[in-house]
Structure 1
């Protein structure tokens, strides 16, 4: 017995040293210590869509994966694409129209997680309270403010003007960031604006704007809106980092999809939405997986409306979640 005691003691010491004692980082269940990058910059808009990013931060989901995420405010998915290509951003929020359009032009972009899907009254066309415009048909020859050209905004408005019997060139578009749309429209820089929450509620309450159309009806009902993108090169070079991000964001997305209160609680922390407004605004849904068949609907409508010159297979753009 005496001869075996040192071996037992040594075994216990080795076991204890593997339980977090000392300066070595403790591996997570997901293998977080094997990440290619432990700090990543992630682009996001100050709107409800990317709520899961901030839920994951607050709940420690990224930390549990060995990740430090630094959110960076962007103006739109299309605007973030050059930052993704240059490496200024590792991952970014994007709207699916901009991403699929970029892929159709040969850009090497990957979709890595889903984010947001339209619901009634979450994306509307609004006009000033004293505007003579009463319906989409009245937009002929008018200027509509959108956050980006040739993205989900223009596609959604196009679907409505076609349904109203107008031609695609009957309406002209001008870019304007969501936070500036209210004042821009009020000062006559446009005749109508394509607006999302929380700016729908804010402009209605502060400026008396009227909604003339819910753009997520008909061809765009329950339309996939936004997801997370990375460059093909970055995804290939950082598979474990990407998988860690996917796992953490999936946990947060599940919370957002199942409990509106989680979204209401997080919105005031990264947007200008106060708690009262967060409880009142219309929210879309938060899908928990990237469904290629559902996203193909976006590409097919883009092809129909002339945004794409040839079909795009969305499935080829998706990086599956692992682990």
Structure 2
């Protein structure tokens, strides 16, 4: 062997072992419906850190106004996966739509600060659900997880939820509607809780933690797909879950880290300064029978009951992390 060839061989032997190159490999594209909230941070982390690409997946995110908005697109085949709140998913299932939970997404934390908050104007004397009877309360939509936990808080603090008038107001307009007197109270989700208190702190105050005060640590949202799709293409969804769960680990290891705040600011467009004050959700990987049963039971208490399949049948194997 001549010296040049020998040196080349030694240099190649010294290189670290690497994964096979993806050159020429076609990535499987998955279109995922999301909303720009804190709950989807692990998905964006997995995209940015290359976890999906390493699984041979290309994630095409489509942003919608709310989790329920993406579900019709899932049924129509516009999306392969949708991030949505648990109540909207279960209402679709109750109506016969074959949604399947593919992965967990967000849950409340075991102790305050909560990711949901009930705010009212200072000086109104409103402090409990009883005080809200006959009054107007804003929710981004009716019959979703925000509204459900808000009504549970009304009940828990002595009020009759049937006597509270719900007004649908998008989160970005909620603080102005409350400060301007169009509603008497509002159920906010982060980062809008922190934003409302930052922009209208002289006029608004928080009076409750809807999740912590009624069902600490309870579920909020998941990723779902259609039953037929996950049964035919289970291996694709397994790859999705593996990459997403690495994103969960990345986010969970960086709470309070500037790198996580930079990531969230990029997709949510919430300033870093405000994110430093925001309460983050818990990021579960699994979806459990117990959490689905709890939501179904709570829905029944607040006028959204009906016949549901056995919760275990709704959870695809990827969500048994």
Same fold (TM over 0.5): yes
1:135 is displaced (CA, Å) by 2.9
Residue-by-residue CA offset, 1:77-99 (whole Å, 9 max, x unaligned): 22221111112222111111111
* 8 Å contact from structure 1 (residues 178, 195) kept in 2: yes
1:68 — aligned with what? 58
2:277 alignment counterpart: 280
* 1:184 Cα offset (Å): 2.6
- Picking from 240, 249, 252, the partner of 2:247 is 252
Deviations 1:134-191 (A, max 9, x none): 3332111111111221111221111111122322211111222212212232333322
Gaps of 5+ in 2: 1-18
- In the TM superposition, 1:84-233 aligns within 5 A as 84-119=74-109, 120=112, 121-208=114-201, 209-233=204-228
Say whether residues 1:298 and 2:288 are aligned partners.
Answer: no
Deviation of 1:317 after TM superposition, in Å, equals: 0.9
Shifted more, 108-117 versus 187-196: the winner is 187-196
Query: For 1:267, which of 264, 267, 282 is the aligned residue?
Result: 264
* 8 Å CA contact retained: 1:125, 1:214: yes
Partner residue in 1 for 2:71:
81
Distance in 1 between residues matched to 2:278 and 2:22, nearest whole Å: 49
State the alpha-carbon separation in 1 of the partners of residues 118 and 312 from structure 2: 31
Task: Provide the aligned length of Structure 1 versus Structure 2.
Answer: 295
What is the TM-score normalised by the length of structure 1?
0.84
Cα distance in structure 1, aligned partners of 2:51 and 2:102: 17
Q: Is the 8 A contact 1:136 1:213 kept in 2?
A: no
The CA RMSD over aligned residues, in Å, is: 2.3
- Asked if the contact 1:157/1:215 (under 8 Å) is kept, the reply is yes
Contact residue 303 and residue 310 of structure 1 kept, 8 A: no
Q: 132-141 vs 51-60, which deviates more?
A: 132-141
- Partner-residue secondary structure (3-state), 1:321: helix
| C-alpha contact (below 8 Å) 2:129/2:158 kept by paired residues | no
Q: Structure 2 vs 1, CA of residues 140 and 64 (structure 1 numbering), >3 Å: closer, same or farther? A: same
DSSP-derived class of the 1:217 partner = coil
Q: Could you tell me how far apart the structure 2 residues matched to 1:200 and 1:293 are?
A: 28
| Cα 1:39/1:105, change in 2 over 3 Å | same
What CA distance in whole angstroms lies between the structure 2 residues aligned with 1:96 and 1:140? 27
Structure 2 SS opposite 1:150 = coil
